[in-house]
Amino acid sequence: MDKLNVLTLSLVIPGGILCFVAVRMLWKYKVFNQLLVLLLCLVFLSGGGLAIFSGLDMASYHYLSDGKPAAVVHFRRESDGQFSAHVKDHMGHEYIQKLTGDYWQLDARVLRLNKHMFRDIEPMIRLEYFYALNVTSRKAASIERSAELLHTSSDLIDSWPFLKKIPWIDRFISLQVTSTMKKPVTDKTVYIVNLTNLGLVAEKSRVADNAP
């Protein structure tokens, strides 16, 4: 007999015996009933934990009504030559950050429910990062986020990596990560950021010269 087969049998046979003895002991002492209860509890705990985890994550998203901009962005040149970026989301939350850069971008996460199952329900949106891009390096750095931002919880809670592993989840809900196109940073310029079917779109406002 081949040496490899002998080695395999020398491991498989004792292993099978040990498994058989273990099963007999579990059966004899009626541990199987307890195992079923334990497994059922683990399933419930896992499902409940994921539901709580997802609910806390969803709390940072907010419905965006039709025709309402996702955000308003405007810039002011400071005395030191830097720009202060003012970003106000559709809920009225605003954060301000000084930046040095030639272009900016804003990205967000958008949750959409299945339209066939959930009619007349607006998409839910959460602003993620605001980027300042330098012409020379093309490197983007997220500005600091204030404590009043809606998405501060996303640093600790992000349920989507777990939810997207569920095979049937896309039948009910979908996640879109979208960004605006690169736009120039200029003094007293106001941009209106809208959510379209293609994602976030930033357009210069007609009242740019009267920026606050």
Out of 58, 84, 105, a domain closes at 58
Residue 7: what pLDDT?
Answer: 62
Residue 110 is which amino acid? V
**pLDDT tens digit string along 8-43?**
676 778 888 888 888 787 777 777 777 777 788 888
On whether both 11 and 95 belong to a single domain, the answer is no
Domain range for 156 is 64-210
On whether both 43 and 79 belong to a single domain, the answer is no
Residue 193: what pLDDT?
Answer: 92
On whether both 68 and 90 belong to a single domain, the answer is yes
On whether both 90 and 136 belong to a single domain, the answer is yes
Residue 137: what pLDDT?
Answer: 45
Residue where the block lists tokens 């509890």: 41
Total residue count of the chain as it appears in this document:
212
Indicate the pTM of the whole model.
Answer: 0.64
Residue 69: what pLDDT?
Answer: 92
On whether both 44 and 112 belong to a single domain, the answer is no
- Token pair belonging to 165: 């592993």
On whether both 52 and 156 belong to a single domain, the answer is no
Out of 58, 79, 104, a domain closes at 58
On whether both 8 and 91 belong to a single domain, the answer is no
State the 10-residue block means of pLDDT for the chain, 212 residues long. Answer: 59 82 79 77 82 77 85 84 83 79 84 73 82 61 39 59 76 82 86 89 70 46
Residue 146: what pLDDT?
Answer: 34
On whether both 69 and 53 belong to a single domain, the answer is no
Out of 40, 58, 76, a domain closes at 58
In degrees and rounded to multiples of 5, residue 9 shows phi and psi of -65, -35
Residue 101: what pLDDT?
Answer: 73
Cα gap 98→84, rounded to integer Å: 4
Residue 25: what pLDDT?
Answer: 79
On whether both 34 and 75 belong to a single domain, the answer is no
Residue 211: what pLDDT?
Answer: 46
In degrees and rounded to multiples of 5, residue 88 shows phi and psi of -120, 125
Residue 180: what pLDDT?
Answer: 87
Contacts of 112 (CB under 8 A, 6+ apart): 123, 124, 173, 174, 176
Total number of domains constituting the chain: 2
Residue 82 is which amino acid? Q
3-class state of residue 184 by DSSP: strand
Residue 142: what pLDDT?
Answer: 47
